């Protein structure tokens, strides 16, 4: 398919066309020409001329869940990838939140095969331990060879520090990325929200900030001893930002992410006991949000993930204590981030990070593969259920005013608008 983008403003700090309006001609999946004015070469060329059209390198999300296999009622791989495409994402890292979990090479092959032919690329994570039970390492090397780009017991901390030590040492043999979720279960106990004034007022059991921070401190000590590549997903506290900043100054090979909702909401939204705000890690305080945003700006926080986790209504429409953790976030991510940061920072946040996973970086220049996201950064609207493409509708962003929206993607020779 040949595609011609008309009068698109390019947002790419590494490009000579940064902040300039240009026509972009795409032929057979590659960017053939970028110029002030390009005429369609033939009648079969698809011309895309949209109001306030902006274009960047394709967006990348380091953490989504779909459900398939095992939880197809939440989301299938096919609809999940279509949702990601409509939300502007050309590449997503798939969390091992399935039944069964992907802990072998055959499981990774299944996920890769199920994602073939879609505009959005799916990059699966395998579990760190067999059946994600935290006892024995899974088939890390075999999964890596099958296409796994990292190893993670989804939202499950590595409770045994010796197991983390062995994993980091072993994974160095094949440049594997090891995840460790930041939570000390013994300190968190049966907590379900941030421990503080709000949890006391509402009578809900809390998870103190240091339950996250003490686990990160332990993991960093292990990393200092072993070497290797460590990723800490979904940090949520100011103390966590400080610990990781100090580790990076020491030269540790550590990265981290924060979920979009942990940049937007504080635990004060819990006062109506609405289960759509129940997530792990929990929503924290305004001081934590300020530190996290600062960490994103200065590069301490490497990724802002949507932490997209569809959940069927039966798991959410119950008492707060008994409801499942998770919110969807793909559809609302850009419109939320674009409120916190200037446009160039927002685009950096949503495009950075492929290299950490050993994936090739993308560029917006003539001769490059066409991996592009189309978007309008200025339109403002109230996020409603009609904006949700996911099968599940459990979004804590419903009713919020957003700024900017994705218009679609061009990737793998396809255009999804």
Residue-wise pLDDT for 27-73, tens only, equals 999 999 999 999 999 999 999 999 999 999 999 999 999 999 999 99
pLDDT band at 227 (very low <50, low <70, confident <90, very high): very high
Q: Is the pLDDT of residue 138 over 90?
A: yes
Domain boundaries, the chain: 3-55+365-379+403-416, 57-357
Encoded tokens for 385: 């259920």
Q: Region 380-407: what's the mean pLDDT?
A: 97
Whether the pLDDT of residue 140 is over 90: the answer is: yes
pLDDT greater than 90 at residue 320:
yes
pLDDT average, residue stretch 264-273: 97
User: Does the pLDDT of residue 146 top 90, yes or no?
Assistant: yes
- Fold topology of 57-357: TIM Barrel (3.20.20)
pLDDT at 95: 98
CA distances to 38, 95, 109, 126, 283 from 102, rounded to whole Å, are 47, 9, 9, 5, 29
Whole-number average pLDDT of the chain: 97
Best CA proximity match to 84, nearest among 57, 59, 55: 59
pLDDT tier at 375, thresholds 50, 70, 90: very high
Residues forming the active site = 307
Q: What is the mean pLDDT of residues 321-332?
A: 97
88-109 pLDDT, tens digit per residue, is 999 999 999 999 999 999 999 9
Round to whole Å and give the CA distance between 220 and 393.
37
Q: Work out the pLDDT band at 127, boundaries 50, 70, 90.
A: very high
Query: Which class does domain 3-55+365-379+403-416 fall in?
Result: mainly beta
Does the pLDDT at position 1 exceed 90? no
- How confident is the model at residue 310, as a pLDDT? 98
């Amino acid at each position: 398919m040949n595609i011609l983008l008309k009068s698109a403003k390019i947002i790419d700090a590494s490009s000579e066309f940064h902040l300039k309006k240009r026509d972009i001609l795409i032929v057979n999946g590659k960017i053939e020409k970028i110029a002030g004015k390009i005429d369609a070469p033939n009648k079969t060329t698809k011309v895309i001329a949209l109001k306030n059209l902006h274009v960047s390198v394709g967006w990348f999300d380091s953490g989504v869940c779909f459900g398939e296999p095992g939880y197809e009622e939440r989301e299938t791989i096919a609809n999940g990838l279509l949702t990601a495409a409509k939300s502007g994402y050309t590449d997503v890292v798939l969390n091992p939140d399935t039944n069964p979990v992907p802990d072998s090479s055959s499981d990774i092959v299944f996920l890769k095969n199920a994602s073939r032919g879609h505009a959005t690329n799916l990059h699966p994570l395998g579990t760190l331990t067999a059946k994600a039970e935290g006892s024995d390492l899974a088939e890390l090397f075999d999964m890596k060879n099958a296409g796994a780009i990292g190893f993670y017991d989804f939202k499950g901390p590595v409770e045994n520090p010796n197991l983390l030590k062995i994993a980091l040492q072993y994974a160095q043999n094949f440049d594997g990325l090891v995840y460790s979720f930041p939570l000390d279960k013994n300190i968190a106990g049966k907590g379900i929200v941030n421990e503080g004034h709000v949890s006391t007022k509402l009578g809900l059991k809390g998870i103190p900030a240091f339950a996250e921070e003490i686990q990160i401190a332990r993991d960093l000590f292990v990393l200092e001893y072993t070497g290797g590549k460590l990723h800490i997903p979904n940090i949520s506290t100011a103390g966590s930002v400080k610990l990781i900043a100090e580790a990076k100054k020491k030269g540790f090979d550590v990265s981290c992410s924060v979920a979009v909702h942990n940049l937007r909401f504080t635990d004060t939204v819990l006062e109506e006991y609405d289960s759509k705000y129940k997530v792990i890690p929990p929503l924290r305080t305004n001081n934590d949000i300020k530190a996290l945003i600062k960490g994103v700006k200065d590069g301490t926080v490497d990724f802002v993930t949507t932490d997209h986790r569809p959940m069927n209504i039966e798991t959410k429409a119950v008492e707060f204590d008994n409801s499942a953790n998770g919110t969807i976030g793909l559809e609302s991510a850009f419109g939320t981030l674009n409120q916190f940061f200037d446009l160039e920072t927002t685009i950096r946040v949503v495009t950075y990070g492929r290299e950490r996973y050993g994936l090739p970086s993308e560029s917006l220049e003539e001769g490059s593969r066409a991996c592009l996201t189309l978007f309008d950064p200025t339109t403002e609207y109230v996020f409603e259920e009609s904006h949700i493409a996911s099968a599940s509708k459990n979004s804590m962003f419903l009713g919020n005013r957003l700024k900017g929206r994705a218009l679609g993607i061009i990737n793998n020779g396809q255009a999804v608008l």
